[in-house]
Amino acid sequence: MTTAPPQSPPPRPPAVDRVLSWPGVQALARAHGRPMATEAVRDVLGLWRASGEALDDQALLAAVEQRLLNLIAPSMKPVFNLTGTVLHTNLGRAPLPEEAIAAMVSMAGGASNLEYDLDRGQRGDRDDHVEAWLCRLTGAEAATVVNNNAAAVLLTLNSLALRREVIVSRGELIEIGGAFRLPDIMTRAGCKLHEVGTTNRTHGHDYADAIGSRTAMLLKAYTSNYRIEGFTAAVGERELGAIAREHNKPLVVDLGSGSLIDLEELGLPREPTVRETLTKGADVVTFSGDKLLGGPQAGIIVGRADLIRKIRKNPLKRALRCDRLTLAALEAVLRLYGDPERLVQRVPALRLLTRDRASIEALAQRLVTPLTRWAGPDLAVDVVPVKSQIGSGSLPLDLLPSAALRLQPLTTAKRGRSRLLQALSRRLRQLPLPVIGRISEDALLLDCRCLEQEQAFIDQLLKAGSR
């Protein structure tokens, strides 16, 4: 019997200090700092020891450089949102106008008059930068801003109804993304929920009969992320406001998305505006800054001056306040609303929502050839009509006609198609500017409604090439 010659063990990895002394690694340390270079070297050597494979010096240096680049690469990066959901919560919701971005950059580099009154030469209030604009655009007496609408609802409840009852229709006990439930927020705010009516029908007398000595307010939550249809009844702001005034109780309305303009004039589905909600009888209205408004993440509270003043005095206001960059961006966006004739083109969220299907389809057709070359021979690419969603709980049942690039595997095996689609989706996410689409009916769809950087999209496909 022939005995196989003994195999020599793979070379042992060099010591960390020796690798750090290499000129190539020293150059990396000078560029990115010695601590990061050291961490990269240790990680690579650890992987080498675990694998038991041989690695020459050049391969080791390349691995250290790649590991270092991975360590310092930013976690958050721009992506192409081709999901078909315009205001996508997971992808950052509303894209900001150029004016808002410029305002943030101008405030980021140094000191600002965030809480300093330049006229009086003394401390000011950060709300002053946006309050006048919010009052002008909504008709409110006063306004304040916090970091998101969930915070706005929490702060309002805690300020106006602490240890007292809040009357809400059962049909409006909403849950939105991230397990945000209105009853839970009430509990955290320190107030007691008093449900009235039923899931599908609530009447004015239900509210009136429930009002007692422990009642602090009436709350109406706009059900922006679902709709109950059929045998239903709800009490509008005008009737509810009259009931609240008769009993000397404030009516608070959580609009959620909160539009400042009549969307029907833009050819979009109906959405109540903040101004009309106040006009109909609401004493306080809360809404988001980064949904239909098209601005940065913020929770906006507008309404009666005495109630807003009480909300401002709450110690929680400091914990929930906005920073200077958010306020700079929000002020810039609100200024754009002062020029309604150019508003749609200057606010990206509105521009994308009102984009017509013909122009989207023409864009998609121009992308078929470069996408086909990139995708490779196993996939067919064509253009199909689809429906876009507005997103973030705004008008959930109303869809917008759009067009998408459809990538379909040519294989007939179901398991093979699924595997190809998952791999294709991963390839798109690994591009320098990741592309996020959606898989539907054995195809990957890239809805082009939100694609405005056409050349950048094409260039990275050409650079990446096919498999």
Task: Please report which confidence band the pLDDT of residue 227 belongs to, taking 50, 70 and 90 as the band edges.
Answer: low
Task: Please report which confidence band the pLDDT of residue 55 belongs to, taking 50, 70 and 90 as the band edges.
Answer: confident
**Average per-residue pLDDT in the chain?**
91
Task: Give the pairing of strands 165-169 and 192-196.
Answer: parallel
383 contacts 430 by C-beta, under 8 angstroms: no
3-state class (DSSP) for residue 108: helix
- Tokens (6 digits) for 430: 């690994």
Residue 93 per-residue DSSP state? S
Cβ contacts of 121 within 8 Å, gap of 6 or more: none
CA atoms within a 13 Å half-sphere pointing along the CA-CB vector of 194: 21
Q: Which CATH number fits domain 80-88+352-464: 3.90.1150.10, 3.90.1150.180, 1.20.1250.20, 1.10.1040.10?
A: 3.90.1150.180
Domain assignments of the chain as residue spans, ordered by start: 16-72, 80-88+352-464, 98-346
Task: Please report which confidence band the pLDDT of residue 13 belongs to, taking 50, 70 and 90 as the band edges.
Answer: confident
For residue 214, what pLDDT is reported?
96
- Tokens (6 digits) for 82: 């081709």
255-281 pLDDT tens trace? 988 899 999 999 998 899 999 999 999
303 contacts 142 by C-beta, under 8 angstroms: yes
Q: How many helices (H) and strands (E) does the chain have?
A: 19, 17
334-357 pLDDT tens trace? 999 999 999 999 999 999 999 999
- Tokens (6 digits) for 439: 């898989």
**Is 98-346 CATH 3.40.640.10?**
yes
381-406 pLDDT tens trace? 999 999 999 986 655 567 999 999 99
For residue 11, what pLDDT is reported?
67
286-298 pLDDT tens trace? 999 999 999 999 9
169 contacts 201 by C-beta, under 8 angstroms: no
412-445 pLDDT tens trace? 777 778 889 999 999 999 999 999 999 998 999 9
Q: Which amino acid is at 161?
A: A
Positive or negative torsion for Cα 364, 370, 374, 380: positive
